Amino acid sequence: MTNLTQNERSVCLLAIESSCDETSASVLCNGKIRSNCIASQKEHAGFGGVIPEIASRAHMRNIVPVVDEALQIAGVKKDQLDAIAFTSGPGLIGSLLVGASFAKAMALALNIPLISINHMQAHVLAHFIADPKPGFPFLCLTVSGGHTQIVYVEDFFEMKIAGQTLDDAAGEAFDKTATLLGLPYPGGPVMDELAMTGNPFRFLFPEPKIADLNFSFSGVKTAILYFLQREKSKNPDFIKENLNDFCASVQHSIVIILINKIRKAAKQFECNEIAIAGGVSANSYLRKKLTQEAEKNNWHLYIPETEYCTDNAAMIAMAAYYKFLVNDFVPQTVSPSARMYF
Ligand code: KG4
Ligand code: ZN
C-alpha cells in the first residue's frame, strides 16, 4: 500500500489479536483497514485441538514479524500510530498474555494510549469493516470454536446475549467430528470442503429440544460418536466409503440447529437485521442456507468476507476505532482474562 497522505493521517491504530492460535496484526487509518496480517499456527494440526503451551510459544515467535508486516503493508511508521489495541479476552490466557504484553510495551515506548477489546464483541463489529453495514438494533449469530451466541446489538458496545450454548460450541462440534473421522485440526473448513460433494440428507442426527434461545451440541456430538462406532463395527471401511455424505449430513444437522434458533430470535425480537460472525460463519453451507432463509423472511442479511469471519486483527482494529473516538483507553496495569463477558 502507498504511504499515508496528510489527510489520511488523523487516526491511525495498530491492533493485535492473539486469543487462540492465530497471531494477527492490523493497521486502521480513519476507519479504514489498511492491512490485516495473520500467521496461522499449523503446529496444532495433528493434535485434534489447540495445545495452549505450543500456541503461546508460536505467538512469541510470530508477533514481531506479523506486526512489522502489517505496518509495512499499511505504509505506516510506528511514530505515526495514535493508539495500540489488543484482545484482552476471552481466550487462552498464555496466548492473550503475549499480545497484551507486546501491545503494552509498544504503547509505553511510543507514549500512546492502549485500547482493550473483547474478542467476541470484535467478531460482531467485524460487520463495520465493509459495506453494507447492519443498522442498530441487529441480531448477530456469533459462532466460533469456543462460543455460540445470539447477540442483540443495540449499539457498538451495547450488546446483550439472547442465547448461548449450554455445553459445546458449534465450531467444536465440527472439530471433534473431524477428529473422529481422522481429519486434521481445525476440522470445520476441511469438512466444509468434503461436504460439497456429499448428500446432506443421507444420515440424520437429532436436533436438541431446547425451548429458549440457548443451544446444545453435546447430544449431537454423542449421537455422531455412537453412530460411527456402530457403523465401523459392521464395516471397518465405513468412514472411507461414506466420508463426503457423512460430512455433509453432520454439517446439515449443525446448520439447521443454528438457523432454527436465529429464526426464533428474529421473531422474538421482531428484528429483521440479521448478521453472522465468527469462524463457523465462513461455512459455505451455513451462508447458503441462511441466504435462502433471509429471502423467505425478508431479512436484511449481513455476512462478512471470510477473511473477517475467522480470527483476525482487522476486527480488533475496527472495534478499537469506535473506542478511540470516545477516548475509551485502559491503563498500563490492565491484564487479559481468559473469561470475559460483555
Ligand atoms: O472465530 P475462530 O477463528 O476462533 C475462535 O474464536 O474460536 O473460529 C474457529 C472455528 C473452528 O472451530 C473452525 O473449525 C471453525 O471456526 N471454522 C469453520 C469453517 N472455518 C472455520 N467451521 C465450519 N466451516 C468452515 N468453513
Ligand atoms: Zn474468534
Quote the ligand 2 centre to 311 CA distance (angstroms). 5
- Is the CB of residue 181 below 6 angstroms from any atom belonging to ligand 1? no
- Is the CB of residue 168 below 6 angstroms from any atom belonging to ligand 1? no
Quote the ligand 2 centre to 266 CA distance (angstroms). 23
Per-residue pLDDT tens over the stretch 14-30: 999 999 999 999 999 99
**Distance in angstroms (rounded) separating the CA atoms of residues 262 and 258:** 6
Per-residue pLDDT tens over the stretch 85-105: 999 999 999 999 999 999 999
Helix and strand tally (H, E) in the chain?
Answer: 9, 10
- Is the CB of residue 308 below 6 angstroms from any atom belonging to ligand 1? no
Instruction: For the chain, give the percent of residues with pLDDT over 70.
Output: 98
Are residues 314 and 320 in contact, defined by beta-carbon separation less than 8 angstroms?
Answer: no
Mean pLDDT of the chain: 96
- Is the CB of residue 188 below 6 angstroms from any atom belonging to ligand 1? yes
Quote the ligand 1 centre to 281 CA distance (angstroms). 8
**Distance in angstroms (rounded) separating the CA atoms of residues 321 and 83:** 9
pTM of the complete model: 0.95
Main-chain dihedrals φ then ψ at residue 31, nearest 5 degrees = 80, 0
**Using CA of residue 98, residue 101, residue 64, residue 2, what is the dihedral sign?**
positive
Sheet holding 114-118, edge to edge: 32-40, 22-29, 12-17, 83-89, 114-118
Q: Which amino acid is at 67?
A: V
Lowest mean pLDDT among 18-22, 44-48, 226-230: 44-48
Per-residue pLDDT tens over the stretch 145-179: 999 999 999 999 999 999 999 999 999 999 999 99
Closest ligand 1 atom, CA of 310? 3
Main-chain dihedrals φ then ψ at residue 210, nearest 5 degrees = -125, 120
Q: Tell me the domains of the chain and their CATH numbers.
A: 8-124+310-325 (3.30.420.40), 132-303 (3.30.420.40)
Strands (E), the chain: 12-17, 22-29, 32-40, 83-89, 114-118, 138-143, 148-155, 158-164, 273-277, 300-302
Interval 327-333 mean pLDDT: 98
Quote the ligand 2 centre to 6 CA distance (angstroms). 34
Per-residue pLDDT tens over the stretch 272-322: 999 999 999 999 999 999 999 999 999 999 999 999 999 999 999 999 999
pLDDT band at 5 (very low <50, low <70, confident <90, very high): low
Secondary structure element (H or E) that encloses residue 268, with its range: helix 238-269
**Distance in angstroms (rounded) separating the CA atoms of residues 210 and 191:** 26
What residues have a C-beta under 5 A from ligand 2, the ion? 144, 311
Whether residue 266 is predicted with pLDDT greater than 60 in this model: the reply is: yes
- Is the CB of residue 187 below 6 angstroms from any atom belonging to ligand 1? yes
Give the mutation target among 247, 303, 310 for probing the ligand 1 site: most ligand atoms within 8 A of CB: 310
Residue (of 153, 12, 166, 39) closest to 95 by Cα position: 39
pLDDT at 7: 52
Quote the ligand 1 centre to 311 CA distance (angstroms). 8
Whether residue 197 is predicted with pLDDT greater than 90 in this model: the reply is: yes
Quote the ligand 2 centre to 137 CA distance (angstroms). 22
Whether residue 6 is predicted with pLDDT greater than 60 in this model: the reply is: no
Per-residue pLDDT tens over the stretch 64-88: 999 999 999 999 999 999 999 999 9
Residue of minimum CA distance from atom 7 in ligand 1: 145
pLDDT at 4: 63
Interval 130-135 mean pLDDT: 97
Q: Is 234 exposed, middle or buried (0-12, 13-18, 19+ CB in 10 A)?
A: exposed
pLDDT at 341: 86
Secondary structure element (H or E) that encloses residue 178, with its range: helix 170-180
Are residues 321 and 13 in contact, defined by beta-carbon separation less than 8 angstroms?
Answer: yes
Interval 6-18 mean pLDDT: 82
Quote the ligand 2 centre to 145 CA distance (angstroms). 7
pLDDT at 10: 82
- Is the CB of residue 48 below 6 angstroms from any atom belonging to ligand 1? no
Q: Copy the grid coordinates of residue 279.
A: 469462524
